[in-house]
Structure 1
Amino acid sequence: MTENPKTLLGLNVINGFTWPPHVHDDTPDNIHNFKVREDDVFVLTYPKSGIHWTQTLVENILFEGNSDKIKKDSESNPLGPIELGDNFKKYESFSTEKPRVIMSHAPVDVLPKQLLEGKGKVVFVIRNPKDNLVSYWNFLKDRQNLEEYEQWDSCFEASLRADMLYGNWFDFNLPYYEHHRNKKNFLFLTYEEMELDHKGCVVRICEFLSRPLSEEQVDKVVENTTFSNMKANKHVLCFQGKGIVGDWKTRFTVAQNERFDAICNQRMEGTALAKRIVFEI
C-alpha cells in the first residue's frame, strides 16, 4: 500500500466533484440545463463500465443491425461523453431526423433535469466494482498528468475516496440505482448480465426503446456487438479492454481484497443494488 499518494495533477474539481481536465467550469450547469428531446437515448455509466459497448448496442438497435448505416453515422458523429470539451454543443446541433445517443459519466446531480423529469430515456450499466477498478486503472495509468493513478496501489487507495476521478464507485452508482431504478425512462443493466446473456440484454433494450426487431435483426445486432467484432471495427469509438468478468483476481492482493470486501459490504448493506452485483459468472 502506498502512503501519501501523489497530489492530483491536471484534474478539475468543480463543486467538490473531480472531473477530467477537459471539463470546463460551466460544463456541469450546461449539462444540467441541456434540452432533452423525447427520443434521446442517454447511455450512462461510471467510467470503464461498458459505455462504448452499450452505445454501440443502442446504435445497432436504432439502425436494425445495418452495419453500413451504423458505420456512416459513427464516422459523421464521432463524439464521446457529453461532459468532455464542447461536446454538449455538438450534441445540441445533431439532426432531429434520428434519436441522439448521448454518452455520459455525469453524476446524478449533474444529469439533465429534464431526464430526471421523465423526458428521454436512459440505459444505465453498472459493472462490479472490483473489475471496474482494474479496468479503470489500466485506462488511467498511462494518462498524462494523472500521477496518482500510475501505480496500482495508489490508484486502489484513491478509488476508496470521494475525490477519485468521477467520484468513487459507490458514491456514483448507488444514488442512481437506489432512487431511479423504478422510473419508466430508466433501464438498469449490469455488465455481467450483458456478458452472460448478450442476446437477452439486446432484447431488453429493444423493448425499453420501443424498437421491436425481428429475430434475424436481433441476431445481427448481437453479432455486430461481440467484443471481437467491435475491436475489428475502427469506427467503434475508443473500444478498449479485455472485458473479462473476474479479472480483478489478477490484480487485487489478498489484503486489498479483504479490505475492499469490508468496505463494499458496509456501503451496500440494505441496498437494492447489492442483489445484482456479482464478481464472477
Structure 2
Amino acid sequence: MTDKLTDFLGVNIINGFKWPPHVHDDTPDKLHNFEVREDDVFVLSYPKSGTHWTLEIVRNIVCVGSKDKVKEDYGSDPRGPFEFSDNYKKFESFLIEKPRVMMTHVRVDVLPKQIFEGKGKVVFLIRNPKDILASYWNFLKEREYLKEYEEWNSCFEASLKADMLYGNWFDFNLPYYEHHRNKKNFLFLTYEEMKLDHKGCVVRICDFLSRPLSEEQVDKVVQNTTFSNMKASNLESFFQQKEDIGKRTYTLFRKGIVGDWKTRFTVAQNERFDEIYNQRMEGTALAKRIMFKI
C-alpha cells in the first residue's frame, strides 16, 4: 500500500466539461472522428455502472468462453477507458483480423460519429443513480482528483451539478437512452438486470453481437465473469500502476451489489435526490428501466 499523497491530481477542463487528468485537450475531437470498423464493439456507460464487468463478458463471448484465448487476444489491450491517454491511438493500429472491444465513458457528442451512422455496435450499461453515486464517491476519493470529491457530503452535492466529472448521471444517460434505444447497433442493459439474470444477459449480448454460443460455452462465459472471479483476476493491476500521475493503489471491484446506497445516503439526501430524480425522469422511457432494489 502506498502512502497517501497530499496533492490532488486535478481534472482537465475541455470546453467547459470536466474530464479525468489523463484525457488530453484534443482527445474529444479525435474520438468523435475515430474511424470505426464494422465489427467494433464499444462497451459504454457512465462510470461505475459495471463497465469492466461487461467488457470482460464481451471479450469472453468473442473468445467463445476460453480464458486462455481472452488472455491471448486481449491481454495486451489498453485496460483503461478508450479516452485515457493515447488508448484510442493504440486501437487504431490493431490488426483488422481481431475484433476491437473498447470501453468508454464518453458523452453522446464525443462518441465516434460513425456509430450513429450504423457502424460498429454499442453495449450500453445503465445502473441506478443512487448506487452509482455511492460507488463513484469511493472511486473518486481513492483517486484524489479534486478536494470536493474527498468527503461524502460535498461529493453528493457535486454529483447533482452539470459540471460533475463526466457530467451528472442524468445528463449522461438520458440523451443516449431517449434518442438511441431503438437503434439496431445499440443494446441497452441495466446493471440490475445483469445481477438478476447474468446468464440471460450473456445470451442477449451474444444475440446482439451475432455470436451464438453453445450452452456449454455460455456457461463458461458466465463462470469466467462472476464477481468473485473478476475480483480475483489480474484486472486490478492496471489501476495499481499509474507512473504518469503518481503511484497510487486503487480498487476496481468493491462490493458489486444492488442497494449499497442505503449505507451512505442520509434521509435528507435521499429525499432531496428523489425530488430531483422525479423531476428529471418524469415522462422518460428510461424511468421504466431503473431499479433501486432487486
Q: Please tell me the TM-score bracket, short chain as reference.
A: over 0.9
Are 2:259 and 2:293, in contact at CA under 8 Å, matched by a contact in 1?
yes
* 1:253 matches 2:262: no
User: Which residue identity lines up with residue 22 of structure 2 in the other structure?
Assistant: H
Q: Distance in 2 between matches of 1:180 and 1:37?
A: 19
How far did residue 65 of structure 1 move? 0.4
The match for 1:206 is 206
Structure 1 range deviating more: 141-150 or 104-113? 141-150
Q: What aligned pairs does 1:1-281 form with structure 2 within 5 A after superposition? A: 10-235=10-235, 239-281=252-294
Secondary structure of 2:234 counterpart: coil
Alpha-carbon shift at residue 94 of structure 1 (Å): 1.2
- Per-residue CA deviations over 1:222-277 (Å, capped at 9, x if unaligned) read 00000001111114765422111000000000000000000000000000000000
TM-score, normalised by the number of residues in structure 2: 0.91
Give the aligned partner of residue 5 of structure 1: none
Q: Distance in 1 between matches of 2:20 and 2:32?
A: 18
List runs of 5+ in structure 1 lacking aligned partners: 1-7
Deviations 1:138-177 (A, max 9, x none): 1001213421100000000000000000000000000000
1:75–1:235 CA contact under 8 A, matched in 2: no
Q: In the TM superposition, what is the alpha-carbon distance from 1:97 to its structure 2 partner?
A: 1.2
For 1:224 and 1:16, locate their aligned partners in 2 and report how far apart those are by CA, in whole Å.
40
Moved more, 8-17 or 50-59: 8-17
Cα distance in 2, alignment partners of residues 173 and 262 from structure 1: 18
How far the C-alpha of 1:9 sits from its partner, in A, is: 6.4
Equivalent residue of 2:25, what SS? Answer: coil
Instruction: Write the letter of the residue equivalent to 1:119.
Output: K
Deviations 1:18-72 (A, max 9, x none): 1011111110000000000000000000001011000000000000000111122
Give ranges in structure 2 of 5+ residues lacking alignment: 1-7, 240-251
Indicate conservation of the 8 Å contact 2:78/2:87, yes or no: no
TM-superposed CA distance for 1:15, in Å, is 1.6
Indicate the residue corresponding to 1:3 in structure 2. Answer: none
Moved more, 161-170 or 81-90: 81-90
Matched letter for residue 272 of structure 2 = R
Give 4+ residue runs of structure 1 displaced > 4 Å after superposition: 235-238
